[in-house]
Chains A and B, each alone.
Chain A
C-alpha cells in the first residue's frame, strides 16, 4: 500500500477510530494522542501490512494496543458513576456556568437526550472489565465481526464470545435497574433532568418519546432495548455532533471526578 493511499484510507477511518478511543478511555487528550500515535505507528509499519485483515481492523488493532497499555494501569469506574458525578456537578458552580456558556454560545452546544444516552453508555461501560468493554464497543458500535475482534484483541473467538455475552448481559442489567427512560423504577433521570435545564421551553416527555429506545420501553424486551441503545451510539460522532462540545465538557468533568473518587477509595 502506498503512503498516499494509506493517508486517503486513514481519513475515512479516523472518525470512527477517534470516537472508539474516546469511548474506551473517556479522555479527549488520550483519544487525540492515541490516534496520532496510531497514525505514526501505522505509517512506520506500513510495509508489514499485507491486507490479510482490512486496514480498519489493522488500525483498530494498533490503537487498541496503545490504549490498553494505559487502561490496564487504571482502576475501572463504578456502575453508579452517574450518581457520583451528578453529586459532584451539583456542588460545582463553575461546571454549570461553563456548561450554560457552551449551551448559549457554541454551535456544538445543543442538548439532545440521544446524545446524553450515548454519553451515559460511555461512562457506565467503564465499569465493565476492560476486555468486555472493548468487545462490546467493537461489535455493537463499530460493527466488527467476531473474527475481526479476535484479531484486534489478539485472543480466541471463544473468549470474544464470552466477553461479548457477559459485557452485554452486565450492561443490560445495569440499565434495566438504573435507567428511568426504560424502567419507571429506574433511579437515574439525568437525560430528562438535563433536558429540563438546557431546553426549558421543550416538553421533555414529548422529546423523549421521539427516541425509539424510549418508545419501545414498555414492550420490555431488554435485549432489543439494548440493541436500540447501541443504534443511538452508532449514529453519533461524539466529536462532531451538534452536542459535541457540551457532552465533551461533561465527559471531562466526569473523568476528573472519577479519578479523584477512585484515588480516595484506595486510601
Chain B
C-alpha cells in the first residue's frame, strides 16, 4: 500500500513538473476535454500581460494566431482566427480580466483561462487551459483537432517574446 502511494505521488509530481516546462497535458472525458500548459518566464508580469492583452499585436509574436479583431478588455468581444483552423473565426467574450493575474475568454463551447503567478525566485509561471465540452460533445469530439502542439507553441512564443523584451537595454 505504501509503495502504491509513493508511486502515485511520484507520478503526480512528475506530471506537475512536465506541465510547468511548457508541455501540454490533455484530459479527455466523455463530455469534455481539457488541455493545459504552463511555463516559467523570466520577465515582468506587466510585459507578459501587455502581450496577452494587445489584440492587434498577436500575429507578430504568436505563431498560433492568425488575427484577433477587437479589444481584449472586460466584457468586450473579440474575433479570433487560429492557425489550428484558419477557416473558422471564433467569436469570444472576455469574461474575466484581472490585470497582471487572470484573463478568461470563451464562448458557449468552452473557455480559455490564462493566469500569471509570481514565483519566489522572481519568475512568472504562465498557465493556460481550455476546457471544451457539453452534452453533444461525444458527437463531434473527434472532429476537433488536438490543442497540445498549439498550446506548447503559444507558451513557447510568449516566453521567447517576453524574455526578449525584458532583456532589452
Within 8 A of B (CB), among A175-199: none
Interface residues of chain A: helix, strand, loop or mixed (majority): helix
Task: Find the A residue at minimum CB distance from B167.
Answer: A161
In-complex Cβ contact of A159 among B46, B57, B164, B168 (8 A) = B46
29 inter-chain pairs at a CB distance below 8 angstroms, sorted by A residue, are A146-B169, A156-B46, A158-B43, A158-B46, A158-B47, A158-B166, A159-B46, A159-B47, A159-B50, A161-B47, A161-B165, A161-B166, A161-B168, A162-B46, A162-B50, A162-B51, A162-B165, A164-B168, A165-B164, A165-B165, A165-B168, A166-B50, A166-B54, A166-B57, A166-B60, A166-B165, A170-B57, A170-B60, A173-B60
A169 within 8 A of B: yes
Hey, what's the 0/1 contact readout for B25-60 against A, CB within 8 Å counting as 1? 000000000000000000110110011001001001
| B57 engages A158 (CB within 8 Å) | no
Chain B residues with a Cβ under 8 A of chain A: 43-44, 46-47, 50-51, 54, 57, 60, 164-166, 168-169
Interface bin, chain A: 10 to 19
- Interfacial chain A residues near B51, Cβ < 8 Å: 162
User: A224 to nearest B CB, angstroms?
Assistant: 16
| B54 engages A158 (CB within 8 Å) | no
* Bound-state Cα–Cα, A170 to B54, Å: 13
Chain A residues with a Cβ under 8 A of chain B: 146, 156, 158-159, 161-162, 164-166, 169-170, 173
| B44 engages A156 (CB within 8 Å) | yes
User: B56 to nearest A CB, angstroms?
Assistant: 9
* Bound-state Cα–Cα, A158 to B57, Å: 17
User: B91 to nearest A CB, angstroms?
Assistant: 24
* Bound-state Cα–Cα, A169 to B51, Å: 13
- Interfacial chain A residues near B164, Cβ < 8 Å: 165
In-complex Cβ contact of A162 among B47, B60, B169 (8 A) = B47
- Interfacial chain B residues near A159, Cβ < 8 Å: 46-47, 50
Task: Find the A residue at minimum CB distance from B164.
Answer: A165
User: B168 to nearest A CB, angstroms?
Assistant: 5
User: B17 to nearest A CB, angstroms?
Assistant: 28
User: A215 to nearest B CB, angstroms?
Assistant: 27
User: A40 to nearest B CB, angstroms?
Assistant: 35
User: B165 to nearest A CB, angstroms?
Assistant: 4
- Interfacial chain B residues near A158, Cβ < 8 Å: 43-44, 46-47, 166
- Interfacial chain B residues near A165, Cβ < 8 Å: 164-165, 168
| B47 engages A169 (CB within 8 Å) | no
User: A107 to nearest B CB, angstroms?
Assistant: 41
- Interfacial chain B residues near A161, Cβ < 8 Å: 47, 165-166, 168
User: B50 to nearest A CB, angstroms?
Assistant: 5
- Interfacial chain A residues near B57, Cβ < 8 Å: 166, 170
* Bound-state Cα–Cα, A161 to B43, Å: 11
* Bound-state Cα–Cα, A162 to B61, Å: 12
Most B CB atoms within 10 A — which of A146, A159, A162, A170? A162
Task: Find the B residue at minimum CB distance from A169.
Answer: B60
- Interfacial chain A residues near B44, Cβ < 8 Å: 156, 158
User: A200 to nearest B CB, angstroms?
Assistant: 41
User: A189 to nearest B CB, angstroms?
Assistant: 26
Seed contacts A156-B46, A162-B165, A165-B165; 14 additional CB < 8 Å A-B pairs:
A158-B46, A158-B166, A159-B47, A161-B47, A161-B168, A162-B46, A162-B47, A164-B168, A166-B50, A166-B60, A166-B165, A170-B57, A170-B60, A173-B60
